[in-house]
Amino acid sequence: MGFECVVSGLGIHIGSINSCEDLVEHIIAKKNFYNKKAIVDSTNKAINDAVKDLNGQDIIAITNDKLSTDICKQYNINNQIVAINYVSMIKEMMHILQTKIDSNIVLVARGEDGCVAILVNKTKERYMTSLSIDNDITIIDEYVDNKSGSLNIDDSKNLINNMMKLVQGIVEVRYCLKLDKKWYSQLYLWDTLEKRELDLVLDGIKTTIKESELPNKSMFESGKYIIPVTFSDTQDARITLKKVQDELTKVGLFTTMVNAIKNLQINRKDNIIVFVVEDIDSINDQINELYSISDRLLDKGFIWKSTTGSLYVRKNVDKPQIVFMNPPGGMFKSNIYHKLFSKLYSFVDENTKDIVRETYINSDNEMVDRYLSECVITSVIMYMLDVIGIKPDYLSGASMGEIVFSLLDMKVPNGERDEYTQYIEGSISSIVGNKYNQSMEYFGRDVNLMKYYIKYDANKVREAIKEYDDIFPIIQGSPTDIIIIGEKDSCESLFKKLGCIPMTLSDAMYIHTPVIENMYKKIYDMLVEVGAYVDADKLPYKLFSTYMCKEMDSSSEMFANNFASILIKEVNYMEALEKLYENGARVFIDLSTTQLCTGWAKECFKDKDDVEIVAIYENKNTADYVVDMSTRLLASNVSFDYRKIFSRLMFINDKTGKFEHIELVSDKMDKTNKYEQVEIVSDKVEMADNYTDKEEEIKVESKNQVSKIDDNIVLRNYIKNQMNVNRQAYNVYLERERELYEQVLSTFRNETVNKDNVINTKTVEVNKPKKKCLWDREQIIEMTENSMAAVLGDKYKEVDKYPIRARMPLPPFLFVSRILDIDAEFGELRPSSIEIEFDIEEDCIYRVGDERISNLIASEASHIGIFLMGYIGLDVISNGTLSYRALDSIQIYHSDRLFRVGDTMKMIYKIDKFAQNGSTTIIYFSYEVYNGDELITTSKASGGFFTRAELESNKGIATPKLKLNPVEPKEFLHFTDKGKDSYTEEDIAQFYKGNYEACFGKDIRIALNEKYYLSHDVDMIKRITNIDYNGGKYGRGLICAECDITPDMWPFEVHFKNDPVLPGIVMIDGITQLEMFLFAHAGLLGHYDKCNVSMINDSPISCKFRGQVRKGHSLLRYEIHIKDVIEKEDGIYIYTETGIFNDDVQVIQIGNYGMKITP
């Protein structure tokens, strides 16, 4: 038997120690509290790293509350630990309710299976995972008990409060730092949350601190200032703006902001300009701009925006309304949310469980259970928004999203709730879990039912569906977003006719179709019988029926009609959104985590500038999110409690340099017109980087006292040290919330690069700081070689099932170090883009000399487009039946600068459009390649995803019988006649090694500035079969060569996994190699005292790819025809045309390939 170790905020849980006090002593004394024999070295190191810097100056908190650690688990596979951060949901939802922790704290709790020590804030964020270890290092699988995955409807707040015991405790301990005594013994007793007080031990004296003495508000530090300017008419606007400018000059940004907020509070007028700025210059520039257009400020529909986020909207309705949008079922991150709620339910206290059991819907149907869990999630999100003062005027949902709202507010006067909820659960289960019987009853046969999301003209889809009796539109979100279900073959026929590409969805059921129409009356009658209704008159908002497209009243008949229709009738959410707009709605807030409703609303209202669409889960930090939301709501002039938002924000006082927050007056005091009711409270906030050895004073304000304490020097140094140590882990966490413990474990691979053997298809870890990115090289390799879902999430699990899918090459042919940015969405075939970088290291396989790198990488890095298509979800759409191949390209070079070891190549890749021809998907794309900030090359190209049959049937490029073009024959420019016209494999090998005399003879003269040589592994020329300076298609020169293709060639192992094919760019690089041989043979490389060889700038190079070289034995032939050779003042310019043949089938054609030799 081993024991359980929970890494929690870089802390530990030891199941073998049952005394909190003993565990504290072990941590402080750095005692050997673990069994070395029971754990592997990496875990040993992890625990050591977690506690090595703890000492008697750290803050230790103890709780006697029972705490289960089962809610957060992770996998341990081959000692490589990857966190599954289930509690990210708590962080997302509850962050706005909790206070930021500014200091390092150790929280110790007695758990059900031992004690837990949590070191909070080592990386400035709260998070938890766990690791189970025993003698055999077994894999711990995540288990969810569906029966315990119950769903709270009416009492979700109580449940959430119980869930948050641990986090609340940590928050409260944070305020123990602000006491009037200097501490020497950091032992704090946090005992029984129900008492809402803390017992503090200082110098052996126990002190009790009550909850009322602890600040309880979350504070979010904003780097921007919000200055609302309210006015009634144009003249008033000009006067007020001038006053703001004068005030800025006198008192600065912070005080001007405070006065503007006070003025808004007591003297709000019809119009509001909201300035969001970082400095005085910005706001002055914006005010001057508004002066120049002030005569337009009262024009209805007029909108002004700035690049800093400032906003003014001239309302075109008297009372703009707020709508909360709730998406169809499954649009939350179910794998995180549902499992987490299931786990948390099992560890709340028994009293809460009793309450929950009375109001939960318990289901044996996992999908029903998962969907209904969104009732709890939705109520939590609404509660979170209410905390910052945002209340809806309308609740509007689609499908399950509407059911959630109905259940939250439903009354059941004539029936037992338990009986009713069981019936509801049974009805939903019968709808979603009985496909076979429903198919047999409606169609008389079993239907292979599929569900698809289509990004296409919805009207055209509807018209085309009329030809089929087994396809149904079920949800329409916008004019170009529609979801359908139907028999698979019929759907595929539909897509072929429309020429559209769908995205396959899971959970195909007959909801929203005529197939289950017979369920309507049964549900309707039951609801009427029990008298279920919503008390619309007493609700603080209006429930909006999507099916009926109007507000709900309090009648049981209306509730029954709507509820019975939600899952049975088709959902047209587009019509609901349009009707809500007619009713005065101007702010639409998406409650989901996927931003599905956000996309629908943006498409519906793309021509309406007065609509604000807000997504709860945007990729912003909390402060920026709150600033952005408050700005948009204020500017839209909607009704919300902005006092709550401002009371949660902290701003830098530009006069003092300290963070300060604003305490606004209550509603009761709002009409007193007294400025002094706005209180400014300072709270010095410093990052650990700024800590010094100098002792400073912190002012503390509590209910009973205001006093000062000296900061502990040792603690400050410790914090500074630990923040620096963990900076990299912190940055990674904030960027992607993944690989949280990679830095803790320090499990860097100790692989050694063998410079004599350049080929190494395995990843070689380089121990150097990582650059900021979306996904780094390790993650990119994981997605390419193993699993997309492991990095991108569960919706890519279907992709991982396909052995042949849209995947890039593997190292050493993977020229991507990091992905910096991406503009694409899963399932949306729209113009998309991606930005990458590639660090050129010494072991780059395509070195052509000591430091130079082949131009090949500038083209081959475009394989990032394959990843982009995989990210969009093409494999799901095509069921893994397609392989990617290049088609055509036009490439232009813009610089003579060559890539060298140590450079970083950057590429910006864009998919411009899509086309479909039968089962084939064609993409038209372009890309730009930079070396640093210098543009090297641009390309416009196309590629396709083809079936195996289409690839095998390709006959290559038609090659008519050779005819000389009607141009004047002109002998190829050369300066020696001493060379042979054919060369053996041994000769070519000497050339690639840079042994020119061994290849050409002692009289050869080559004066390259940098010696040209290649690794044997990348050479593409084995024999020169003919050199004729008067031959070729143009009569100006010809060189022919051969390369033997064998199954053991390394490119087949990496390009692509499970779909080996020789890269076209590798074959094209053979052209450069062959032309370098020709230039040496002709004496061109010795014409100048010293020379360089590069591509000709501003000369388009055309490429056609019409065949493939599969893994096996074949003969590759090159025919390079010289088109022209021009000697200019700055060098010799050579233009060629090349055909590449595989067993006499032309697979590639290159036109106007231009290279130059310059002194």
3-state secondary structure (DSSP) of residue 532: coil
Report the distance separating Cα 401 and Cα 590, nearest Å: 11
Residue with tokens 């003993």: 22
32-36, 444-448, 519-523, 557-561: segment of lowest average pLDDT: 32-36
1075: confidence class by pLDDT, cuts 50, 70, 90 = very high
Residue from 1055, 1081, 1087, 1121 carrying the catalytic annotation: 1055
Give 562's contacts (C-beta < 8 A, 6+ positions apart).
402, 406, 545, 547, 548, 552
123-132, 149-158, 271-280, 302-311: segment of lowest average pLDDT: 123-132
Confidence check: pLDDT of 341 > 80: no
CB 367 within 8 A of CB 181: no
Task: Characterize the bridge pairing of strands 659-663 and 649-652.
Answer: antiparallel
Report the distance separating Cα 178 and Cα 168, nearest Å: 17
Residue 621 is predicted with a pLDDT of 57
Q: Which amino acid would we find at residue 308?
A: T
**Per-residue model confidence as pLDDT tens digits over 800-814:** 888 889 899 999 999
Pick the closest to residue 313 from 639, 638, 636 (CA basis). 636
CB 133 within 8 A of CB 76: yes
**Per-residue model confidence as pLDDT tens digits over 987-1034:** 999 999 889 889 988 888 899 988 888 878 889 999 999 999 888 888
CA 373 to each of CA 144, 149, 286, 334, 420: distance values in angstroms, whole numbers, following the listed order: 14, 8, 47, 9, 18
Report the distance separating Cα 663 and Cα 681, nearest Å: 7
Mention the CATH class of domain 767-952: alpha beta
Domain ranges of the chain: 3-213, 767-952, 985-1158
Q: Which residues of 547-585 are buried (b: 16+ CB within 10 A; e: fewer)?
A: beeeebeeebebbbbbbbbbbbbbbbbbebbebbbebbb
213-217, 322-326, 498-502, 757-761: segment of lowest average pLDDT: 757-761
Neighbours of 929 (CB within 10 A): 27
**Per-residue model confidence as pLDDT tens digits over 1117-1153:** 999 999 999 988 899 999 999 999 999 899 999 999 9
Report CA dihedral (617, 623, 628, 629) to the nearest 10 degrees.
60
Q: Which amino acid would we find at residue 935?
A: L
**Per-residue model confidence as pLDDT tens digits over 877-899:** 677 778 888 888 999 999 988 89
Neighbours of 791 (CB within 10 A): 19
Mention the CATH class of domain 985-1158: alpha beta
Confidence check: pLDDT of 144 > 90: no
Rama region for 10: left / alpha / beta (φ>0; ψ in -120 to 50; rest): left
Report CA dihedral (991, 995, 1001, 1005) to the nearest 10 degrees.
90
Confidence check: pLDDT of 334 > 50: no
Q: Which amino acid would we find at residue 1062?
A: L
Report the distance separating Cα 314 and Cα 303, nearest Å: 6
Q: Is pLDDT larger for residue 394 or for residue 200?
A: 394
Residue 591 half-sphere exposure toward CB, CA atoms < 13 A: 34
CB 629 within 8 A of CB 390: yes
Known active-site residue 1055: yes
Sign of CA dihedral 285, 289, 292, 297: negative
Sign of CA dihedral 906, 912, 916, 917: negative
Report the distance separating Cα 908 and Cα 608, nearest Å: 32
CB 545 within 8 A of CB 586: no
Neighbours of 671 (CB within 10 A): 10
Average pLDDT, the chain: 70
Average pLDDT on 765-772 reads 54
CB 6 within 8 A of CB 72: yes
Report the distance separating Cα 114 and Cα 251, nearest Å: 57
**Per-residue model confidence as pLDDT tens digits over 610-640:** 888 988 765 555 567 778 888 888 888 777 7
33-37, 403-407, 639-643, 737-741: segment of lowest average pLDDT: 737-741
What distance separates the 2 farthest-apart alpha carbons in the chain? 108
**Per-residue model confidence as pLDDT tens digits over 578-599:** 999 999 999 999 887 667 888 8
Q: Is pLDDT larger for residue 692 or for residue 404?
A: 404
Confidence check: pLDDT of 74 > 80: no
